[in-house]
Chain A
Amino acid sequence: MSSIAAPTSLPGEEPIEQKNYLNVKTTLSSWLLTGDHKRIAVLYLFSIFFFFILGSIAAGLVRYELTSPTGRIMESETYNKVFSAHGIIMIFFFLIPSIPATFGNFFLPIMVGARDLAFPRLNLASWYVYVVAGILMLTSLCLGGVDTGWTFYPPYSSMYANSQVTLTILAAFLAGFSSIMTGMNFIVTVHKMRAPGMTWFRLPLFVWAHYATAIIMILGTPVVAITLSLVLVERVLRIGIFSPELGGDPVLFQHLFWFYSHPAVYIMVLPGMGVVSELIANFSRKRIFGYEFVAFSSLAIAALGFVVWGHHMFISTQSMYQGIFFSLLSFLVAVPSAIKVFNWTATMYKGHVVLAAPMLYALGFIGLFTIGGLTGLFLSSMGTNIHLTNTYFVVAHFHYVMVGGAMMAFLGGLHYWWPKMFGRMYADNWAQVTALLSFVGFNLTFMPQFIIGWMGMPRRYHYYYFAPEFQAYHIASSLGASVLAVSLILPVFYLGHSLKYGPKAPPNPWGAHGLEWQTDSPPITSNFESIPIVTDEVYDFPEERTEPDTHLAAAATGNGKAKKGGS
C-alpha cells in the first residue's frame, strides 16, 4: 500500500478501478440534480469557499482601514457596510453551514453505516435554497450592501436604515431554511439509518456533535426566521411589532434574535468539536477518554445554549434579576466545554500522538478555544461585561471561538478527510507549516484586540483618533491578519495541486478507526458494497497498532490491519 507523504508512484497498486462517486457520471446535470450526499457536500464545499473568500476580503478591508487612527480609505457609512458584510457572510454563509453541510453531509451517513441521508432530495433542496440565499446576498452587496451589522436590530433596521436591509434579511431568512433542512435530515438519519450493530454508544463523537447541532438547528432557526421576517414586513408594509412608536418593544426583537443567535454559536462550534474529537482520538491512536462524557457534553451544550441568550443584553432594558440568572446559566456552559477540553487532553496522555497536519489544527483548536471560552467567562460576569461590552474584547473573544475554534476545526477536518473525499494525498509537510502559520497568524491578529478591548477600544469604529496609542496594537493585528491570510491561501495551492498530481490515497491513509475509512477513497456512490454490520466499539485501536514511531509507519501498518480485506 502507499505511504502518505511520498509522492512516488505506486507500483503495487492494482489498475482496476471501480467507479467512485466523483467519476460515476460527469455531466453538469448529474451534479446539479444529484441526490448523493457526497456530491451535495462537494457542492456545498465550493459554495461556502466562495463566500469565505468574500467575507475574508471584507475582513481584510476592515483590518486595513484600522491601521490608521483616522481611518484610511473609507467613510463611516462604507465601513459600517463592510463590517456588516463581513459578519453576515461569515456567519450565515460560511460558519453555520461550514462543517455540517460539508463534512457532516459527507461523513455522517457513512459513519452511521448508511447509503445516504434519510431525505436526499431535501438535502439537495437545502443546497439550492442556500444558493438562492447567496445570490440574494450578492445582489444586495452589488446594490450597495447593508449597514445594520449582522444583528439587524430594529428600529434602525426596520425604520431608518437606507441600505439593502430587505434583500439581506431575505437572504439570511432563506439561509436559515437551508440549515433547518440539513438539521432535519441529520436527526432522522442518526435515529433511523444506523447500520446493524451501530448502537448509540458506538457512534463516533462527530455524529454525536452533529446530532446536538441538528437539535439546535431545528429549535432555534425557525425562531430567527420568523423574527427576521417580522422585521421585513415591518420595513416593507410598515406593520409594527417591534416599533416603539406603536408601543412595541425593540428589546423583544433582541430576545427573539438571541434566542437563536446565541445557540447559533454552538451550531458553529459543536461540529468543530466533533471534528476535533475524531482527530484527537485517531491521531493519538486511543479511545477517547470518557467517551460518554464527551458525547453527552455535546447535548448539554445544546441544551444550555438555549437558556443563556440574555447575556447579550445585559445593557439593554432587561431586568437586573434576569441578568443574574442569565449570568449564572452562562457560567454553566463552561462545564461541558471544559469536560471536552480535559478529555481531549487526557486522551493524548500516553497516546501515540502523531503530529500530522490535521492533528496540528486540532491542537491549535484546543488552545484557541480554551482562550475563547475562558474570556467568555469575563463577558458573562455582569460587572465586567458592562465595562467590556461593545469593545474589541468581545470581538477578540468571539473570533477566538469562531475562527480559532470553528475555522481551525474546519481546516483540520478538511486536511483529515481530503484524501477520502477526493482520493488524493496532499503534501503533508506543507500542510504542517500552514497549520503552524495559521496558529501564529491568528494569535497575532486577535491577542492585541483583547488588550485594546480591555483598554476601551469600542467595536464597530473605523477611527480612534481619541486614542492614538492603540495604533501599534491595530497594526500588529492587521499584520497578523496578513499572516493568517497567507495560511488560508496556501491550502488552495497544495490541496489544488494534490487533486491532479497528488499520489492516490489508500482507503485508510491515517490508520484511523471508523466506518468511513473502510470505504474506498473516494467512496462509491452507495458508500458500501453492502451495509456493514458493526461488531466492535468506537475508537477501538488494537494494542499492537500502538507501536509505530512515525505516522508513515502508522499509515502502512494501519492499512494492513484495519481494512476489510481486498480492495
Chain B
Amino acid sequence: MAAIAQETPQEHHGPVHHQFENIVQQNEAYAIGMWTFLVTEIMFFGALFLSYGLYRWRYPVDFSRVHEELNINLGAFNTTVLLVSSFSMALGVHFAQLKDRAKVLKALSVTIACAFTFLVVKYFEYGAKLEHHLFPGANFRPEAEHLHGGNPNVAQMFYSLYFAMTGLHGIHVLVGILVIGFLMLLWVKKNPLVTEDFMPTEMIGLYWHFVDLVWIFLFPLYYLIPK
C-alpha cells in the first residue's frame, strides 16, 4: 500500500482537536456522534415505551381511570414551558451561528429558566402523588378516591411506569440544565471552542430538543388517556 506524505503534521490551533484534519471533519464527526448518541437514547427510552404500550393494551380501562388523578393543567403547562425552551434553544443556535454572543446568552438563559420551571412543577406534582401514597411499593395505600375506580394493582403498575418514565425524563432535564449551564459558562468566558465554532452549541441544542420530544410523547400517553 503506497503511503505518500500528504502534508507535514501541523500545529493545530483553535477549536480543532489533534485527531481531526480540519474543522469540517471535526464538525461532521460531532454531528454523527451526537445522532448516534440520540439513537442510543431512543433505544433506552424505547424499552420503557414498549412496556407502557403492553400494559396499557392489557389494562385499557384501569389505565384510563387511574390517569384521571394526574393534573392535566400542570402537564399542559409543562408542555408549553418545554416548547418555549426548545424555541429559545433554537434561537440560541441561530445566534451562535451569527456569533452574536449576547443574544446566545439571553436565549440560553430562557432555556435554563424553562427547564427549572419544568422541574419545579414536576416537584409539586410528585409531592402530591407521594402525599396521597401513590408511590408504588410498600407505601402504596391510596384512598379509593385517588384511584378513580381503577384496580389498585394496575394503579401501582401505572405509577411504576409513570415514575420510571417521567423520572428518567426528569434526570435528562437535570443533565440538560448542567450541560447548558456549562455551555453558557464557556460563552461567558469567550472560550473559542464555542465562540469560533457553533457546533457544540448546536449539538447541545439537539440533545435538548430530544429531551423535549420525549416529553411530547409522555404528556399524551399519561395525561390524555381517552375513556
| Interface stretch (choices B37-45, B83-91, B110-118) | B37-45
Question: Residues of B contacting A118 with CB < 8 Å?
Answer: 19-20, 29, 33
CB-CB nearest in chain B for A189: B29
Residue A319 CB within 8 A of the other chain:
no
**A233–B39 CA distance with the chains assembled, in angstroms:** 24
Question: Residues of A contacting B73 with CB < 8 Å?
Answer: none
Q: Is the CB of B153 within 8 A of A533?
A: no
Question: Residues of B contacting A227 with CB < 8 Å?
Answer: 47
Q: Is the CB of B9 within 8 A of A188?
A: no
**A192–B33 CA distance with the chains assembled, in angstroms:** 10
Q: Which residues of B12-59 have CB atoms within 8 Å of chain A's CB atoms?
A: 17-21, 25, 28-29, 32-33, 36-37, 39-41, 43-48, 50-51, 54-55, 58-59
Question: Residues of B contacting A526 with CB < 8 Å?
Answer: 9, 18
**A514–B58 CA distance with the chains assembled, in angstroms:** 56
Q: Is the CB of B18 within 8 A of A230?
A: no
A514 with B1, Cβ < 8 A, contacts A120-B19, A248-B157 known: yes
Partner of A221, one of B9, B19, B37, B40: B40
Residue A428 CB within 8 A of the other chain:
no
A 251-270 binary contact with B (CB < 8 Å = 1; else 0): 01000100100000000000
A 108-128 binary contact with B (CB < 8 Å = 1; else 0): 000000111111100000000
Number of A residues, CB within 8 Å of B: 57
Partner of B154, one of A247, A518, A532: A247
Q: Is the CB of B153 within 8 A of A245?
A: yes
Q: Is the CB of A247 within 8 A of B18?
A: no
Question: Residues of A contacting B161 with CB < 8 Å?
Answer: 241
Question: Residues of A contacting B157 with CB < 8 Å?
Answer: 240-241, 246-248
Q: Is the CB of A246 within 8 A of B153?
A: yes
Question: Residues of B contacting A256 with CB < 8 Å?
Answer: 47, 50-51
Q: Is the CB of B9 within 8 A of A529?
A: yes
**A530–B4 CA distance with the chains assembled, in angstroms:** 8
Least CB distance from A352 to B in Å reads 19
Q: Is the CB of B153 within 8 A of A223?
A: no
Q: Is the CB of B4 within 8 A of A531?
A: no
**A358–B1 CA distance with the chains assembled, in angstroms:** 22
A187 with B32, Cβ < 8 A, contacts A116-B19, A238-B137, A238-B138 known: yes
Q: Is the CB of B2 within 8 A of A117?
A: no
Q: Is the CB of B137 within 8 A of A191?
A: no
A 175-192 binary contact with B (CB < 8 Å = 1; else 0): 000001001100110011
Least CB distance from B19 to A in Å reads 4
A115 with B2, Cβ < 8 A, contacts A192-B25, A192-B29, A230-B164 known: no
A219 with B39, Cβ < 8 A, contacts A187-B32, A230-B164, A531-B6 known: yes
**A180–B29 CA distance with the chains assembled, in angstroms:** 17
Residue B219 CB within 8 A of the other chain:
no
Question: Residues of B contacting A187 with CB < 8 Å?
Answer: 32, 36
CB-CB nearest in chain B for A535: B2
**A252–B49 CA distance with the chains assembled, in angstroms:** 12
Q: Is the CB of A238 within 8 A of B7?
A: no
Q: Is the CB of A241 within 8 A of B51?
A: yes
Partner of B40, one of A180, A518, A528, A564: A180
**A237–B135 CA distance with the chains assembled, in angstroms:** 10
A218 with B32, Cβ < 8 A, contacts A240-B160, A248-B157 known: no
B 141-178 binary contact with A (CB < 8 Å = 1; else 0): 00000000001011011001101100010000000000
Number of B residues, CB within 8 Å of A: 49
**A532–B21 CA distance with the chains assembled, in angstroms:** 12
**A390–B199 CA distance with the chains assembled, in angstroms:** 52
Q: Is the CB of A540 within 8 A of B47?
A: no
Q: Which residue among B3, B32, B164 has the maximum number of chain A CB atoms within 10 Å of its CB?
A: B3
Partner of A239, one of B6, B9, B33, B163: B163
Q: Is the CB of A223 within 8 A of B37?
A: no
**A183–B36 CA distance with the chains assembled, in angstroms:** 9
Q: Is the CB of A117 within 8 A of B4?
A: no
Question: Residues of B contacting A223 with CB < 8 Å?
Answer: 43-44, 46-47
CB-CB nearest in chain B for A255: B50
Question: Residues of A contacting B43 with CB < 8 Å?
Answer: 218-220, 222-223
Residue A286 CB within 8 A of the other chain:
no
CB-CB nearest in chain A for B137: A238
Least CB distance from B137 to A in Å reads 3
A 526-547 binary contact with B (CB < 8 Å = 1; else 0): 1011111111100010000000
CB-CB nearest in chain B for A518: B3
CB-CB nearest in chain B for A219: B43
Q: Is the CB of A535 within 8 A of B1?
A: yes
**A515–B20 CA distance with the chains assembled, in angstroms:** 18
A 354-373 binary contact with B (CB < 8 Å = 1; else 0): 00000000000000000000
Question: Residues of B contacting A230 with CB < 8 Å?
Answer: 47-48, 51, 164
Question: Residues of A contacting B32 with CB < 8 Å?
Answer: 187-188, 191-192
Q: Which residue among A248, A249, A259 has the maximum number of chain B CB atoms within 10 Å of its CB?
A: A248
Q: Is the CB of B6 within 8 A of A530?
A: yes
A239 with B36, Cβ < 8 A, contacts A247-B154, A530-B7 known: no
Q: Which residue among A180, A246, A515 has the maximum number of chain B CB atoms within 10 Å of its CB?
A: A246
Question: Residues of B contacting A240 with CB < 8 Å?
Answer: 136-137, 156-157, 160
Residue A193 CB within 8 A of the other chain:
yes
Residue A144 CB within 8 A of the other chain:
no
Q: Which residues of B99-149 have CB atoms within 8 Å of chain A's CB atoms?
A: 136-138
**A529–B5 CA distance with the chains assembled, in angstroms:** 8
Q: Is the CB of A115 within 8 A of B40?
A: no
Question: Residues of A contacting B136 with CB < 8 Å?
Answer: 237-240, 246
**A252–B160 CA distance with the chains assembled, in angstroms:** 15
Question: Residues of B contacting A119 with CB < 8 Å?
Answer: 29, 33
Q: Is the CB of B3 within 8 A of A564?
A: yes
Question: Residues of B contacting A249 with CB < 8 Å?
Answer: 54
B 56-96 binary contact with A (CB < 8 Å = 1; else 0): 00110000000000000000000000000000000000000
CB-CB nearest in chain A for B1: A536
Extra contacts, 15 of them, besides A120-B17, A252-B51 (Cβ < 8 A), are A118-B19, A188-B32, A218-B36, A240-B156, A245-B153, A246-B154, A247-B151, A248-B157, A513-B1, A515-B1, A515-B3, A518-B1, A528-B3, A529-B9, A532-B1
19 A-B pairs within 8 Å (CB atoms) are namely A115-B18, A118-B29, A187-B36, A188-B29, A188-B33, A193-B25, A222-B46, A230-B164, A237-B137, A239-B163, A241-B161, A246-B154, A246-B157, A247-B58, A247-B154, A259-B47, A514-B1, A532-B3, A534-B3
Q: Which 4 A-B pairs have the closest CB atoms?
A: A238-B137, A116-B19, A532-B3, A222-B44
Which residues of B pack against A, CB within 8 Å? 1-9, 17-21, 25, 28-29, 32-33, 36-37, 39-41, 43-48, 50-51, 54-55, 58-59, 136-138, 151, 153-154, 156-157, 160-161, 163-164, 168
